[in-house]
Amino acid sequence: MKILLAPSERKSLGGEKQFNINSFPELNPARNEAIQKYDEYLQITDDTAHFGDIKTPIKKRPAKEAILRYTGVAFEYLDYKNLPNDAQNYLNENLIIFSNLFGILKPLDLIPYYTLKQGSKPGFDIYKHYKEKITEILNTYDEEYIDLRAKFYEKIYKPKNAITFKFIKDNKIISHFAKAYRGKLTRLIALHQPKRLNDVLKIEFPDIKIIEIHEKKGIKEILCEIK
């Protein structure tokens, strides 16, 4: 089974390696086209809020592993560096990160620092650009998914057989703090290494109480109360 996770706008700087994305080679033509268009757009835009002020082409920037590049709330609580080796290996194999720029990535893909806020369009609709190919790639796998992405990313890919989580506190659905719990869940899943969706439901989640499970068209939505 695979875990789907959104990227983060917050990223670490630097890197000592060269750009290299080995995962999902079927996506390379679309990925290379997106990178080229992004590089070209950076040369003409003054929108530093959404795209930063780095003009260096993407593939010439210093790179590091995607799992270490993204440093937002979910990745902070995932705390990949301090996981045991077997849990890291589980994520290396089974975690799929939905990147705004690169489409889909595995944790060890080497990517540079870049700025591309969620929903931004670098001269073209990058989400529409990737949607058909990513759907084709992921639908060919006979996999169950644990979908821990923000709902925004369903516009790129919506799995047919998955678990999703919705978090509530004081009878209200939370959004920002949901990122922390997505990171916590990813960490716990890596530690327990479930093989099927039903195995996920057997994991004891500290600070989380499962209230209801709704199932529709192969998607199980787990309603969780944060203690």
Q: What would the pLDDT profile of 16-45 be if each residue is shown by its tens digit?
A: 999 999 999 999 999 999 999 999 998 888
Rg (C-alpha) for the chain, rounded Å, is: 18
Tens digits of per-residue pLDDT, 151-199? 889 889 999 889 998 888 888 887 768 899 999 999 999 999 988 878 8
Share of the chain above pLDDT 70, in %: 99
How many CB atoms are closer than 10 A to CB 29?
A: 10
Tens digits of per-residue pLDDT, 54-72? 788 999 999 999 999 999 9
pLDDT score at 176: 66
pLDDT score at 160: 85
Q: What is the DSSP string of 119-180?
A: T--SSS-HHHHHHHHHHHHHHTS---EEE-S-GGGGGT---SSEEEEEEEETTEE-STTHHH
Tokens 């506190």 found at: 169
What global pTM score does this model have?
0.93
Cβ-proximal residues to 10 (8 Å cutoff; 6+ apart), any chain: 70, 71, 72
